[in-house]
């Protein structure tokens, strides 16, 4: 959500900034712009729309200069117009800034600045920052920025250029991510690591309220009080290619095909034959035995992984688990204390509501364990303990491999808690571990076996306006994820229901040809699912069932069946979701939509 890049070096800045912005496209945006400085001039070009519009605008006369900043904007205050696009500047044009976040007190600050004679060009909250710097500049940009930062309420990551101090970029952040890339005779600034991974794998990750003063051959770091600080260099092991499409048409398809490997990585060193080990997280056996409740807090797909976690933990560990959407949790005065374990789940590690929930839980005395995919993210840094998802970079807005790894992380945690609390016998634990270890191989088989039928179904689904996903127990958790994936990238209205709930309302919507995806992997509830399938079939639904190989009884009642390899039914979710990820992908493709960057959505939701 909004992407920031900055470059200072020996090369022309414009192509490097554009390339960096392209690598941040996954964050979602609706306008883009750059500012490049030569000596004491700053050339700003900004356009509503995708990066190709900006590229066209600069194609004949690209801004020349070796220092610059760039931005992709996801509109919050003011429409996605050329004027509202970043960079923004003050009255004189001396201070040029890009911003990610929301300034909550911008209206009050703007009114005060207008009273002092400042004139504004945009409707954005961001522009006040440029005018405040103009107002407070007394010969040192760094000091002015620190002073202004103290006046701002809300969140920001900022990169600032000034004609008064050419050859320099000031970067500062609070509650929005910002990193500084370290090169040779050149340095970089970005919202996220993939932006410049092809140039460097060494970064400083700024913490809240920290400021970086960057020139092409120096990086000085400061705290909020203006004191020099030292930080460790963060070395990234991904190579640039890992963040590329690797030959697939879209990141989402590549990421689905990476699911088996992703599962292998999350299991690695944690689950081995006969053992499950989570000593990497600092939870003592005593703590684990003393917890009386688990709270799982997350947004979107991550919350659906959390619902799966609830079913699995409650069944194996016999402990109550509550699952909350983070934007609800943070405002509902939750009943948690030091006897609660709070698990926050976030692929990006930057989701604003999840981060706020983490802080709330800590304030109430609970220990917070984070499941996240991004090392060095805000959630990773603030949580008491972190279990990294190890899915590798996920670029497509629709989360796929990270979702699966969240689910598998819950399997691992459930097995570990069950071991420590002795809620399963040693033999059963051994068997369950053996089953979990089969997942990577079975995930590959699932992709291979479901692909053709999924592609065929997508050609039918593309013509539909509505779809339903039904299931019971863990299959209901899966149906939530299946429906979200279809709706977010194919724009088909998709609803998930516990299958037993159909006759309490949604059955009224079933008529001839309405697609229903019926997930039936919970074998203890298989007969009940068959009855629910018959209810929708009798009303004309076009039913696609997903069940285990060998469960052929369902064929009598449905139109199509995707069979997944047999595994202990507690762990079917990590396989059964794969055809639903593929179905969403191919339906979106059939409809001709932008699969990786669906309309109105952003990969990393860093505002409330």
- Applying CB under 6 A, which residues contact ligand M6R? 299-302, 346-348, 351, 354, 397-399, 488, 601, 605
Cα distances from 29 to residues 71, 138, 598, in angstroms, run 9, 35, 10
Q: H or E segment at 169?
A: strand 169-174
Q: Which of 2, 168, 401, 485 is catalytic?
A: 2
Minimum CB separation of residue 345 from ligand M6R in Å reads 7
Minimum CB separation of residue 355 from ligand M6R in Å reads 9
Q: What are phi and psi of 269, to 5 degrees?
A: 70, -5
Strands across the sheet containing 293-298:
321-325, 293-298, 340-346, 367-372, 385-388
Q: Catalytic annotation on 299?
A: no
Nearest CB to ligand M6R, comparing residues 85 and 100:
100
Cα distances from 325 to residues 17, 427, 484, 581, in angstroms, run 36, 36, 14, 22
Cα–Cα distance measured from residue 308 to residue 266, given in angstroms and rounded to the nearest whole number = 17
Cα–Cα distance measured from residue 107 to residue 50, given in angstroms and rounded to the nearest whole number = 28
Q: For 553, how many CA atoms within 13 A lie in the half-sphere containing its CB?
A: 12
Cα–Cα distance measured from residue 578 to residue 190, given in angstroms and rounded to the nearest whole number = 33
Minimum CB separation of residue 163 from ligand M6R in Å reads 38
Minimum CB separation of residue 399 from ligand M6R in Å reads 4
Q: What are phi and psi of 336, to 5 degrees?
A: -130, 155
Report residue 418 as tokens.
Answer: 């069950």
Q: Across the chain, which distance is largest between two alpha carbons, in Å?
A: 80
Q: Catalytic annotation on 603?
A: yes
Cα–Cα distance measured from residue 374 to residue 48, given in angstroms and rounded to the nearest whole number = 30
Cα–Cα distance measured from residue 373 to residue 393, given in angstroms and rounded to the nearest whole number = 8
Nearest CB to ligand M6R, comparing residues 398 and 514:
398
Cα–Cα distance measured from residue 225 to residue 229, given in angstroms and rounded to the nearest whole number = 11
Cβ-closest position to ligand M6R? 300
Cα–Cα distance measured from residue 346 to residue 576, given in angstroms and rounded to the nearest whole number = 21
Minimum CB separation of residue 299 from ligand M6R in Å reads 4
Nearest CB to ligand M6R, comparing residues 172 and 305:
305
Minimum CB separation of residue 400 from ligand M6R in Å reads 8
Nearest CB to ligand M6R, comparing residues 475 and 488:
488
Nearest CB to ligand M6R, comparing residues 194 and 300:
300
Minimum CB separation of residue 489 from ligand M6R in Å reads 8
Nearest CB to ligand M6R, comparing residues 87 and 598:
598
Q: Which of 110, 487, 537, 603 is catalytic?
A: 603
Nearest CB to ligand M6R, comparing residues 324 and 542:
324
Which residue numbers are catalytic?
2, 603
């Amino acid at each position: 959500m909004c992407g920031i890049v900055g470059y200072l070096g020996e090369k022309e800045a414009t192509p490097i900034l554009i390339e960096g912005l392209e690598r941040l496209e996954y964050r979602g945006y609706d306008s883009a712009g750059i500012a490049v400085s030569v000596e004491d001039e700053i050339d700003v070009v900004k356009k509503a729309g995708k990066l190709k519009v900006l590229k066209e605008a600069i194609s004949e006369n690209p801004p020349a200069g070796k220092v610059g900043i760039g931005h992709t904007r996801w509109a919050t205050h003011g429409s996605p117009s050329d004027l509202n696009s970043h960079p923004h500047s003050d009255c004189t044009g001396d201070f040029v800034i890009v911003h990610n976040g929301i300034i909550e007190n911008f209206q009050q600050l703007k009114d005060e600045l207008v009273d002092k004679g400042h004139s504004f060009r945009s409707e954005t909250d961001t522009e006040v920052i440029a005018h405040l710097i103009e107002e407070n500049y007394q010969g040192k940009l760094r000091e002015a920025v620190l002073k202004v930062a103290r006046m701002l309420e809300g969140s920001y990551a900022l990169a600032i250029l000034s004609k008064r101090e050419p050859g320099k970029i000031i970067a500062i952040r609070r509650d929005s991510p910002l990193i500084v890339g370290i090169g040779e005779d050149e340095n970089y600034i970005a919202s996220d690591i993939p932006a410049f991974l092809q140039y460097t794998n060494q970064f400083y990750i700024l913490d809240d309220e920290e400021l970086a003063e960057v020139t092409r051959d120096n990086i000085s770091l400061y705290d909020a009080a203006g004191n020099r600080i030292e930080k460790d260099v963060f070395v990234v092991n991904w190579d640039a290619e890992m963040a590329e499409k690797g030959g697939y048409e879209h990141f989402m398809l590549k990421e689905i095909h990476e699911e088996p490997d992703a599962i292998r990585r999350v299991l690695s060193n944690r689950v081995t034959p006969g053992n499950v080990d989570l000593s990497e997280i600092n939870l003592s056996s005593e703590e684990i035995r003393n917890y009386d409740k688990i709270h799982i807090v997350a947004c979107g797909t991550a919350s659906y992984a959390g619902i799966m976690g609830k079913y699995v933990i409650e069944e194996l560990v016999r402990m109550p688990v509550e699952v909350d959407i983070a934007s609800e949790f943070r405002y509902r005065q939750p009943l948690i204390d030091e006897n609660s374990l709070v698990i926050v789940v976030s692929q990006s590690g930057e989701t604003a509501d999840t981060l706020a929930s983490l802080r709330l839980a800590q304030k109430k005395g609970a220990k917070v364990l984070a499941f996240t995919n991004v090392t060095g993210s805000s959630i990773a840094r603030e949580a008491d303990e972190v279990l990294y998802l190890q899915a590798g970079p996920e670029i497509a807005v629709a989360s796929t491999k990270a979702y699966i790894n969240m689910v598998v992380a819950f399997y691992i945690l459930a097995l570990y808690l069950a071991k420590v609390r002795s809620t399963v016998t040693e033999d059963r634990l051994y068997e369950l571990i053996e089953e979990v270890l089969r997942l990577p191989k079975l995930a590959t088989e699932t992709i291979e076996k479901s692909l053709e039928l999924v592609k065929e179904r997508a050609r039918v689904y593309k013509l539909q306006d509505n779809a339903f996903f039904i299931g019971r127990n863990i299959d209901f958790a899966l149906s939530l994820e299946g429906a979200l994936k279809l709706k977010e990238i194919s724009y088909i209205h998709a609803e998930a229901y516990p299958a037993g709930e159909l006759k309490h309302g949604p059955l009224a919507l079933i008529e001839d040809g309405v697609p229903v995806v019926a997930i039936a992997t919970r074998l203890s509830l298989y007969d009940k699912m068959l009855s629910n399938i018959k209810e929708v079939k009798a009303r004309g639904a076009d039913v696609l069932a997903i069940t285990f190989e060998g469960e052929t009884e369902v064929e009598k009642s449905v139109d199509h069946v995707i069979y997944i390899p047999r595994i202990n039914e507690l762990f079917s979710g990590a396989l059964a979701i794969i055809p639903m990820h593929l179905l969403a992908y191919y339906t979106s493709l059939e409809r001709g939509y932008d699969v990786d960057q669906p309309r109105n959505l952003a990969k990393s939701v860093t505002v409330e």
